[in-house]
Structure 1
Amino acid sequence: MSGADTSKQKINPGDHLANERTFLAWIRTSIALMGFGFVVVKFSLFVKQLSLVITDKVLLPGKGFSATIGIILVAIGALMALLSYFRYRRIEKQLLRNAYFPSFALSLLMTVAIVLVSGLLLWYLLPNT
């Protein structure tokens, strides 16, 4: 056997462990997004109930979008968890074939989604002047 046959390289466990750490980081981020969405929804409910107790009327009557924004955040977090699993499996297969090709599609998709939801939150939070 000559040194010319390099198609069968040894599997590097560090690459697989790095792939798993990246997957777990995506999962932690998705859990954080879902938690934040839950807090946004529940905080809106808390403010409405508090305003009823204090003033006998609901404050901020025209601003009922926080529940929608919170639900969108939870949905984005769930979608992120699902897509990160598919990304993890795809990269694992590439590593086993020794043919890894980086992809930034999931990062771009999540960045765009978070920027859009952030825009919605800013629009909601800024006072109507």
Structure 2
Amino acid sequence: MSDIIGSLGISASGMHAQSMRLRHASENIANADTPGYRRKTIPFQELADGGVAPGRVRLDRGELPKVYDPSHPMADGSGHYAGSNVDLIVEIADAREAQRSYEANLKLFDQSRQMAQGLLDLLKR
């Protein structure tokens, strides 16, 4: 029975981690056109019980692209300003992967719950 309860905790931690990943991907997509915005990433850390936990948010330290627009309020003397280093294709793919991983953890959670319920029903007899 403890293995079934443990699998509930592991799948719940996976759902939490993937929801954080999806949150940051959607923030990145929303700020793709914000000047000076750096892409956020979130690493996962393995827990002792086999689950995962989201780590600290990291900012992508890659080079910010220089955008030429002399009419932009943030443009320097040469007409350039620092753009965002968010790649929409990468963020959409990351969001899809997080969604599918969340759904897989949800199915595992539901199956573990059903197994626990079935075991309890057998023990009642």
TM-score (norm 1): 0.45
Larger radius of gyration: 1
**More helix by percentage:** 1
